[in-house]
Amino acid sequence: MSPKIKFDKWTDLYAKRTVALRSSAIRDLFIVASRPDIISFAGGMPDTRSLPMEMIAEATKKVLRKEGAAALQYGSSEGHPGLRECILKLLAEDDIHTDLDDIIITDGGQQALDLLGKIFIDPNDTIIVEGPSYVGAIQAFSGYQANMISVPLDENGLSIDSLSQTLGDLKKRNQKAKFIYLVPSFSNPAGVTLSPERREALLKITKKHDLLVIEDDPYSRLKFGGGKIPTLRSMDDSLIYMGTFSKIFSPGMRLGWITAPKPIIEKLNFAKQASNLCSSSFTQRIVEEYFTNYPWQSYLEKQTALYKERRDIMLKSLEKFFPSDARWTKPEGGLFLWVTLPKFINTAELLAKSINEAKVAYVPGEAFFADGSGKNCMRLNFSYPNKEQVAEGIKRLGELIKSQTKLYKTFTGKLRLNND
Amino acid sequence: MSPKIKFDKWTDLYAKRTVALRSSAIRDLFIVASRPDIISFAGGMPDTRSLPMEMIAEATKKVLRKEGAAALQYGSSEGHPGLRECILKLLAEDDIHTDLDDIIITDGGQQALDLLGKIFIDPNDTIIVEGPSYVGAIQAFSGYQANMISVPLDENGLSIDSLSQTLGDLKKRNQKAKFIYLVPSFSNPAGVTLSPERREALLKITKKHDLLVIEDDPYSRLKFGGGKIPTLRSMDDSLIYMGTFSKIFSPGMRLGWITAPKPIIEKLNFAKQASNLCSSSFTQRIVEEYFTNYPWQSYLEKQTALYKERRDIMLKSLEKFFPSDARWTKPEGGLFLWVTLPKFINTAELLAKSINEAKVAYVPGEAFFADGSGKNCMRLNFSYPNKEQVAEGIKRLGELIKSQTKLYKTFTGKLRLNND
């Protein structure tokens, strides 16, 4: 942890948005989660240990021999055309058809969120997010001083009834949301997927209210089985679609993308220039080489099989070790599941005990809400810890939660707990 | 060039800041400048053709073998400690002594400017920049809707008298600038260096007015001879200092840094998380390896010798082919020089002719002013075109300018031109 700052003589100079720009629970947890004695369910990290290091070294060597001067040079802000060609092919596999010019390369999904915030959000603008929503999105949009309205999720994704009511309420007040942001497949943090019926309904209602949709889709290729669910973008080409190489290859490359209608891409391009000129010409060419000439699918399949195995163990262990009044989602893909505990448990308060005594890290639920909800929830990641760690970590966490429950019962004398 | 957009149905949704976020002349020129028939003085590119490709491939292989999983993973937002250690050593060579914790890694200098804008600038805040100033800084700060005041430069850098007057005027109006941003060594675009006397005077006056100083120092290691000039940061450790690997190694790695007092670094860290989480773990480790175990200095010396040779030819050619009433700076390092032409020449208007007829690209001077000044000026880059291109390009550009001068004289009948 960084040392506490006693006196900040520059306080008067900071912009108003810095009030909202605070360290996320996730970032602080990066530090704790890297301690070797901690079993961490806190990160959002793919398992990079299983990637083919020699192949990546070879791909790099090829790039440097073939076009080293360009790979080490500045590039265009929209991104290397060769990499955008790769993305076109990936998108086509998901029935998304777009132009090379309608794709902009970003520094992973996080920069995509920042650029979208930069071009759309004025202070106090209303936007709609899922409740719970991706913490990085909340952070990025908070930086632009957005007024975020959360629409709740259930096991079939975003509640369309709640969305309908929210949009109706806004209309009554003569207000309009700038956009709705959602992760419809294997969502972060909830691990739930918007059902095909709700996808239809969502697009119908957003069309009716003329509401711009931002579909963030980092996880749909990390699927544990079952049929293909169409992306929203494949059903409506007027929306904004975000993808990333972080989960299907490597977050260390810092590469993602946005595809959107041309006028929006142009605005994003100006924002990108002002933000960091261009993404790395070097990593863009390495990823292009890797996705063109190496068996990336087979490594992704191996990784996804690992994640499935770990999810299975996590679900089994939750069943075995968590109290009977706890609930959790059953994700069919992705990296996360979401646990809801009895109301009297505050997961943020429990975290210090969990780290110090149980030696287990997770992300408290309130990090995923802009309005302080989710205090009795937690996000658990199953992609990074190995099988044994998953089983052991859930056991320890379950025991800790049970001991808290027992303590609570002792204090309150209640025999039955209200979990509503 | 991107196709013209006829109808943008999202116009009502864009944030106010997008009005200022426009394509820079530089970005449009990237596209033109890459045409093989054009001699381009427009870029700001180091000569990456002379970098040791095999060594970089080897360094990458070592990183992947030694710590591949970490190199391909997310990293901390402040940056890889190993790379920050390298930066500490580089800084110490310039008599800058700081802590590892007081350094944050950025995606090149451009992201450093964006993050500084993000934490300091509210709409309409006043900041002070050089006239002319770096176009990327103008773009980044414009994105935060800053009110920029330009203080003029001469051959010894920023005019301290003008700065004093500007600060006095602000004080009289009960206003305060958030910071002053300057490139004191081999400035971009002017190619001038703030003299040691003026450095003393600058720090005295900024201290008196309690004005925060941002020193951007990408070029001081690209020095063509002469004694060492102390960085402002080595004279005052309360200021913000920016550095980058883009000019001493490779812009394709997208790595730079800021060192600043701890409270400011903490704010920058939050802004970095919201902007793109972290810089590439992969390129950070490769640059660490290259700067630790490879003879980077000798490659930089070779590059700098190349730039010096090209500057010499550019100065000689300007003398020979440019009209006698043109003036230009004589940089002792860096990548750029600045040409001032007679007032009746508008370099932005001349650019199309220059590209289409003379097949030479440059950046029109007005790109470097927030207030539309500099219309008779141009920035010329001498680091990227080779010797023959420099000689030929300046010859063609000189002939074009002389033909314009002749045309003007024909129209106005003036025999002597007023260059004031």
Give per-residue pLDDT as tens, B301-312: 999 999 999 999
Query: Under an 8 A CB cutoff, do A68 and B48 touch?
Result: yes
When mean pLDDT is compared across A17-31, A122-136, B178-192, B280-294, the lowest value belongs to: A17-31
Q: Are residues A59 and A104 in the same domain?
A: yes
- Write down the residue that tokens 């003569």 correspond to: A174
Q: What is the pLDDT of residue B1?
A: 39
Q: Are residues A180 and A67 in the same domain?
A: yes
- Determine the residue of chain A that is closest to B50 in CA distance: A69
How far away is chain B from the Cα of A385, in angstroms, using its nearest Cα? Answer: 14
Of A23, A48, A74, the CB nearest to B72: A48
CATH number at residue A25: 3.90.1150.10
Q: What is the pLDDT of residue A3?
A: 46
CA dist., res. B308 & res. B302, Å (int): 10
Question: Model confidence at B414, in pLDDT bands (50, 70, 90)?
Answer: low
Query: Under an 8 A CB cutoff, do B23 and A252 touch?
Result: no
Quick check: B416 pLDDT over 90? no
Structure tokens at A63: 């790039």
Q: Which residues neighbour A95 within 8 Å (Cβ) at sequence distance 6 or greater?
A: A230, A231, A234
CA dist., res. A392 & res. B274, Å (int): 33
Number of domains chain A is built from: 2
Query: Under an 8 A CB cutoff, do A21 and B267 touch?
Result: yes
- Determine the residue of chain A that is closest to B109 in CA distance: A276
Q: Are residues B167 and B36 in the same domain?
A: no
A chain contacts of residue B118, beta-carbon cutoff 8 Å: 15, 17, 21, 143
The DSSP result for A94-143, as a single string, is: TT----GGGEEEESHHHHHHHHHHHHHPPTT-EEEEEES--HHHHHHHHT
What is the span of the domain harbouring residue A353?
11-51+298-412
Query: Under an 8 A CB cutoff, do A280 and B276 touch?
Result: no
Residues A110/A160, Cβ–Cβ less than 8 Å? no
Q: Which residues neighbour A316 within 8 Å (Cβ) at sequence distance 6 or greater?
A: none
Query: Under an 8 A CB cutoff, do A56 and B69 touch?
Result: no
CA dist., res. A389 & res. A386, Å (int): 5
Q: Are residues A230 and A318 in the same domain?
A: no
Q: What is the pLDDT of residue A300?
A: 97
Of B92, B80, B334, the C-alpha closest to B233 is B92
- Mutation site for A-interface testing, chosen from B4, B7, B10, B76 by largest number of A Cβ within 10 Å: B10
Residues 117-136 of B with CB under 8 A from A: 118-122, 125, 136
Query: Under an 8 A CB cutoff, do B119 and A14 touch?
Result: yes
The parts of chain A modelled with pLDDT lower than 70 are 1-6, 22-34, 413-420
**Residue B354 in 3-state DSSP?**
helix
CA dist., res. B232 & res. B200, Å (int): 8
Query: Under an 8 A CB cutoff, do B24 and A178 touch?
Result: no
Of A120, A145, A137, the C-alpha closest to A181 is A137
A chain contacts of residue B51, beta-carbon cutoff 8 Å: 68-69, 72
Q: Are residues A21 and A59 in the same domain?
A: no
Q: What is the pLDDT of residue A419?
A: 45
Structural domain contains residue A112: yes
Residues 236-295 of A with CB under 8 A from B: 246, 250-254, 261-264, 266-267, 269-271, 273-283
Of A21, A121, A276, the CB nearest to B111: A276
The DSSP result for A289-332, as a single string, is: HHHHHS-HHHHHHHHHHHHHHHHHHHHHHHHHHS-TT-EE---S
The DSSP result for B90-105, as a single string, is: HHHHTT----GGGEEE
Structural domain contains residue A346: yes
Q: Are residues A65 and A203 in the same domain?
A: yes
Q: Are residues B15 and B139 in the same domain?
A: no
Q: What is the pLDDT of residue A23?
A: 59
Query: Under an 8 A CB cutoff, do A27 and B72 touch?
Result: no
Quick check: B317 pLDDT over 90? yes
Q: What is the pLDDT of residue A33?
A: 64
Q: Are residues A112 and A237 in the same domain?
A: yes
Of A69, A120, A139, the CB nearest to B49: A69
Q: What is the pLDDT of residue A12?
A: 87
Question: Model confidence at B33, in pLDDT bands (50, 70, 90)?
Answer: low
Q: What is the mean pLDDT of residues B22-45?
A: 75
Structural domain contains residue A5: no
B chain contacts of residue A110, beta-carbon cutoff 8 Å: 273-277
Residues B271/B118, Cβ–Cβ less than 8 Å? yes
CA B210 to chain centre: 25
Considering only residues B36 and A327, tell me which one the structure prediction assigns the higher pLDDT.
A327
Structural domain contains residue B63: no
Quick check: B364 pLDDT over 60? yes
Q: Which helix (H) or strand (E) holds A196?
A: helix A196-208
Query: Under an 8 A CB cutoff, do A13 and B276 touch?
Result: no
Q: Are residues B288 and B303 in the same domain?
A: no
Q: Where are the alpha helices (DSSP H) in A8-80?
A: 25-33, 53-71
Please report the ipTM that was assigned to this predicted complex: 0.94
Domain end, chosen from A293, A315, A343, is at A293
Q: Are residues A258 and A358 in the same domain?
A: no
CA dist., res. B383 & res. B387, Å (int): 10
Domain end, chosen from B240, B270, B293, is at B293
Structural domain contains residue A36: yes
Structural domain contains residue A116: yes
Structural domain contains residue A355: yes
Strands in B147-154's sheet, in edge-to-edge order, are: B103-106, B256-259, B240-244, B212-216, B179-182, B126-131, B147-154, B157-158
Q: Are residues B161 and B206 in the same domain?
A: yes
The percentage of residues in chain B with a pLDDT greater than 90, rounded to a whole number, is 85
Write the pLDDT tens digit of every residue in A335-370: 999 999 999 999 999 998 999 999 999 999 999 998
The DSSP result for B277-336, as a single string, is: SS--HHHHHHHHHHHHHS-HHHHHHHHHHHHHHHHHHHHHHHHHHS-TT-EE---SBSSE
A chain contacts of residue B275, beta-carbon cutoff 8 Å: 110-111, 114, 140, 143, 275
Of A214, A281, A270, the C-alpha closest to A242 is A214
Of B243, B217, B247, B216, the C-alpha closest to B335 is B247
CA dist., res. A395 & res. A250, Å (int): 30
Of B140, B147, B144, B214, the C-alpha closest to B184 is B214
Structure tokens at B364: 């029109």
Domain end, chosen from B259, B293, B327, is at B293
Q: Are residues B151 and B258 in the same domain?
A: yes
Q: What is the pLDDT of residue B2?
A: 44
Of B93, B205, B215, B208, the C-alpha closest to B160 is B205
What's the mean pLDDT when you consider all of chain B? 93
CATH number at residue A166: 3.40.640.10
Structural domain contains residue B69: no
CA dist., res. B418 & res. B79, Å (int): 53
Quick check: B238 pLDDT over 80? yes
